Structure 1
Amino acid sequence: MIFQYGNQVLDFCVLAILEHQDSYGYEITQRILETIEISESTMYPVLRRLKKYNHLETYDVPYQGRNRRYYKITDSGKELLELYKSDWEIYKDKIDYIVKGEEDE
């Protein structure tokens, strides 16, 4: 795909994934890679940034002799996700309007 994905789109995708269930970094990355072409190293700065701004929190779970870090969306993250959803619909509608042209009346 030739379109570039900015920080907000990646933030939006991460928050949307975590809205449904807590997850660890590798699993989040794999979910996003199912639909968006990004490098795997791109996701960890996104997760760190969302955590820094209190949109995510983390906790560790033992897994095969080591800890696996899970990410959980916070109330602040849920608010941001709702804003992203609203803005996304507006943005998508504007792009569709341009690409598809005016509707016949």
Structure 2
Amino acid sequence: MLARELKKGSAELIILSIVEPRPRHGYEISKLIAERSNGQVTFHVASLYPLLYRLEERGWLQGKWVERAGERRRRYYGLTAEGRRVLLQQRETWKSFVDAVGLITGVDHV
């Protein structure tokens, strides 16, 4: 597993990136993070939902309750216009950081 501090420092970027294409509910967000990272990054409910609520309070995500026949009610989270702006900024910051660490450590990334 990746170091806890690395996950904590990139959690916002990860969540915003996952919901960028379309709104998703918490379990789906958690599942996609694990799948796309080949199990290297996981978010447990105890840490994921407080983060989603915080991003919603900041105005970066908008939550909406959805009920479907035969399923329980779920809250879907989608990016707001402000969330898209923040995501673009965080991606640039992340890229610059990864490039700088690569220069320092001699680790080449593609």
Q: 1:81 aligns with which of 80, 87, 108?
A: 87
Q: Which has the higher strand share?
A: 1
Contact 2:30/2:42 (<8 A) preserved:
no
How many residue pairs get aligned? The number is 100
- Residues 76/96 of structure 1: CA separation in 2 closer, same or farther (3 Å cut): same
Choose 1 or 2 for highest CA Rg.
1
**Residue type at the aligned position of 2:60:** H
- Residues 2/69 of structure 1: CA separation in 2 closer, same or farther (3 Å cut): closer
Structure 1 residues not aligned, in runs of 5+: none
* Structure 1 residue ranges (4+ consecutive) displaced by more than 6 angstroms after TM superposition: none
Structure 2 residues not aligned, in runs of 5+: none
Give the aligned partner of residue 14 of structure 2. 13
SS at match of 2:16: helix
Q: TM-score, normalised by structure 1?
A: 0.85
Q: TM-score, normalised by structure 2?
A: 0.82
- Alignment RMSD: 1.6
